[in-house]
């Protein structure tokens, strides 16, 4: 193999050449401060020539000054386990059949040695090979639909995913469907599918990974296993999100898809149900249903109807002190709905009232959620809330703003009375309020 200098120059390049270490090689580096193990990364363009960069097993990159390096040892390449026939597991006719639709993200990613970063790469069938335990629980039928970082997914992709699921529900006998997805916007897609796939007869479980599968702390395998077990064995139907619960490595939480949020940038248990608990835990490959105020639908031959269209002329605006009401005016020109993320019980400053009146007058649907995230919007308590109700702002109770944004895109495309639909509970996105 040719020596890959990885952009290193001067002292760094000499040191690497001396030890025959190329970018992508696993190395042990002894320094004055101790020994480090990792994979040699290419040089950052802006970095000093005196440093080399290795990716530690923690997943983080570290720069090491060449002057501090006492020795460097190249380690033998790890071989990937070989799989004789990637489809052999799937042929077991006695296991429940589960479809695995891959859309991209970290769960389907491997390391990019050129950059030290992670990019979408693995196909669903490769994933299937890399988590052989799946074979004990389901006969998996994998399909790659998209290969995209989830921050790039748009409402038109929700339509594609909903149509693909609809096709699988209507024309094949799956016990459940797993959708692998980047975590950044997984909760938005999950909410979108909840509205688009009405009367689902089986569970559809979205799953992602916070850390890529080449990292020792990766959650990819356990998450996928948990999602598959729930899809194959749960007695309930509907859309769910399955991800790590807590910091332990043995428990997956299943969340109602309209009530879940990514609440941490990097933790494996980043996804949390809001205002309710997760509806189920999966531990040791068995499902433990949790007490919940949500009534889940049972598996059935319900009247399944796919309504996969979305109107993306919806914008979420988060209020803050100093917020310029002109942002409302601009938004109203090109959007059919504005979801406000107000303060507290659902407020924005009185300076916004004229712009909101104008927007409502022009036929734009304006709805209120709270940036507090937890708790219910209640706009009858203070003058500000009552004034906003008078203007025609639609209060959305305890619907989280992300779900509200998605729901508005869906109602605008599917309902004759969007304001009314926004206030009705369609997919567990609103809890019954405290009775008066």
Residue 334 annotated to the active site: no
The DSSP symbol for 206 reads E
Residue 183 annotated to the active site: yes
Q: Which of residues 141-180 bind its own copies (CB under 8 A)?
A: 149-155, 158
Find the part of the chain contacting its own copies (CB under 8 A) among 80-88, 222-230, 284-292, 371-379: 371-379
By the rule CB under 8 A, 194 interacts with its own copies = no
Nearer Cβ to its own copies (87/311): 311
Long-range contacts of 352-358 (CB under 8 A, 24+ apart): 352/319, 352/323, 352/325, 352/328, 353/387, 353/388, 353/391, 354/325, 355/325, 355/326, 355/328, 355/329, 356/328, 356/388, 356/391, 356/393, 357/391, 357/392, 358/329, 358/332
Q: Which residues of 40-79 are buried (b: 16+ CB within 10 A; e: fewer)?
A: bbbbeeeeeeebbbbbeeebeeeebebeebeebeeeeeee
Residues in the chain: 436
Cα distance between residue 230 and residue 105, in whole Å: 21
Cα distance between residue 141 and residue 47, in whole Å: 46
Q: Which of residues 223-262 bind its own copies (CB under 8 A)?
A: 262
Find the part of the chain contacting its own copies (CB under 8 A) among 160-168, 214-222, 235-243, 375-383: 375-383
Of 103, 183, 258, 403, the active-site residue reads 183
By the rule CB under 8 A, 188 interacts with its own copies = yes
Q: Please enumerate in sequence order all residues whose Cβ is within 8 A of that of 186, keeping only pairs 6 or more positions apart, or say none.
A: 105, 150, 206, 208, 241, 262, 271
Q: Please enumerate in sequence order all residues whose Cβ is within 8 A of that of 50, keeping only pairs 6 or more positions apart, or say none.
A: 10, 11, 12, 65, 66, 67
By the rule CB under 8 A, 77 interacts with its own copies = no
Residue 228 annotated to the active site: no
Find the part of the chain contacting its own copies (CB under 8 A) among 131-139, 163-171, 218-226, 400-408: 400-408
Give least dist CB 94 to its own copies, A.
39
Q: Which of residues 32-61 bind its own copies (CB under 8 A)?
A: 60-61
- Token digits for 407? 């729901």
Q: Which of residues 259-278 bind its own copies (CB under 8 A)?
A: 262-267, 270
Q: Which of residues 321-360 bind its own copies (CB under 8 A)?
A: 321-324, 326-327, 330-331, 334-335, 341-351
Coil/strand/helix, residue 11: helix
Nearer Cβ to its own copies (17/152): 152
By the rule CB under 8 A, 63 interacts with its own copies = yes
Give least dist CB 61 to its own copies, A.
7
Coil/strand/helix, residue 219: coil
Nearer Cβ to its own copies (326/432): 326
Nearer Cβ to its own copies (46/286): 46
- Token digits for 378? 């209640």
By the rule CB under 8 A, 373 interacts with its own copies = yes
Residue 262 annotated to the active site: yes
Cα distance between residue 405 and residue 408, in whole Å: 5
Query: Do 161 and 193 touch, CB atoms closer than 8 A?
Result: yes
Of 55, 233, 262, 407, the active-site residue reads 262
Q: Which of residues 96-115 bind its own copies (CB under 8 A)?
A: 115
Give least dist CB 167 to its own copies, A.
22
Cα distance between residue 158 and residue 308, in whole Å: 7
Cα distance between residue 333 and residue 32, in whole Å: 62
Classify strands 117-120 and 109-112 as parallel, antiparallel or unpaired.
antiparallel
Of 55, 66, 103, 106, the active-site residue reads 106
Would you give the distance in Å from CA 41 to the centre of its chain? 27
Nearer Cβ to its own copies (230/410): 410
Q: Which of 374, 417, 424, 425 binds its own copies (CB under 8 A)?
A: 374
Give least dist CB 45 to its own copies, A.
10
By the rule CB under 8 A, 316 interacts with its own copies = yes
Q: Which of residues 376-395 bind its own copies (CB under 8 A)?
A: 376-378, 380-384, 386
By the rule CB under 8 A, 300 interacts with its own copies = no
Residues tagged active-site: 106, 183-184, 262
């Amino acid at each position: 193999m040719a020596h890959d200098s990885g952009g290193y120059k001067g002292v760094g390049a000499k040191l690497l050449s001396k030890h025959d270490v190329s970018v992508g090689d696993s190395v042990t580096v002894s320094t004055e401060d101790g020994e480090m193990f990792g994979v040699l990364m290419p040089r950052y363009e802006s970095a000093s020539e005196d440093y080399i960069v290795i990716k530690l097993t923690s997943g983080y990159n570290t720069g090491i000054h060449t002057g501090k390096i006492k020795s460097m040892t190249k380690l033998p390449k790890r071989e990937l386990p070989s799989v004789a026939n990637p489809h052999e597991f799937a042929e077991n006719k006695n296991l429940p059949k589960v479809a695995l639709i891959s859309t991209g993200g970290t769960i389907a990613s491997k390391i990019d040695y050129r950059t030290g970063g992670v990019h979408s790469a693995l196909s669903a069938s490769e994933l299937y090979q890399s988590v052989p335990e799946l074979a004990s629980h389901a006969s998996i039928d994998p399909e790659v639909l998209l290969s995209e970082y989830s921050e790039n997914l748009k409402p038109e992709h929700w339509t594609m995913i909903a149509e693909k699921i609809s096709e699988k529900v209507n024309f094949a006998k799956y016990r459940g469907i797993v959708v692998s997805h980047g975590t950044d916007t997984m909760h938005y897609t999950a909410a979108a599918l909840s509205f688009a796939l009405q009367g689902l007869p089986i569970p559809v479980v979205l799953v992602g990974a916070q850390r890529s599968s080449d990292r020792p702390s990766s959650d990819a395998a356990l998450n996928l296993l948990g999602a598959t077990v729930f899809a194959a064995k749960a007695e309930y139907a509907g859309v769910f999100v399955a991800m790590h619960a807590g910091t332990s490595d043995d428990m997956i939480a299943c969340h109602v898809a309209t009530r879940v949020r990514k609440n941490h940038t990097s933790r494996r248990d980043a996804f949390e149900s809001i205002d309710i608990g997760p509806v189920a835990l999966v531990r040791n490959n068995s499902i433990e249903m949790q007490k919940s105020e949500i009534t889940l639908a049972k598996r059935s031959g319900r009247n399944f109807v796919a309504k996969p269209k979305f109107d993306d002329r919806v914008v979420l605006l988060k209020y803050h002190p100093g917020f310029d009401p002109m942002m409302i005016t601009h938004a109203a020109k090109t959007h059919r709905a504005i979801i406000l993320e107000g303060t507290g019980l659902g407020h924005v400053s009185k300076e916004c009232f004229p712009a909101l009146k104008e927007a409502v007058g022009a036929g734009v649907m304006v709805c209120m959620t709270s940036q507090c995230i937890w708790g219910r919007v209640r706009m009858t308590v203070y003058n500000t809330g009552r004034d906003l109700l008078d203007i025609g702002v639609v209060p959305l109770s305890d619907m989280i703003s992300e779900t509200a944004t998605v729901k508005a895109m869906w109602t605008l495309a599917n309902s004759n009375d969007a304001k009314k639909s926004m206030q009705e509970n369609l997919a567990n996105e609103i809890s019954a309020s405290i009775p008066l």
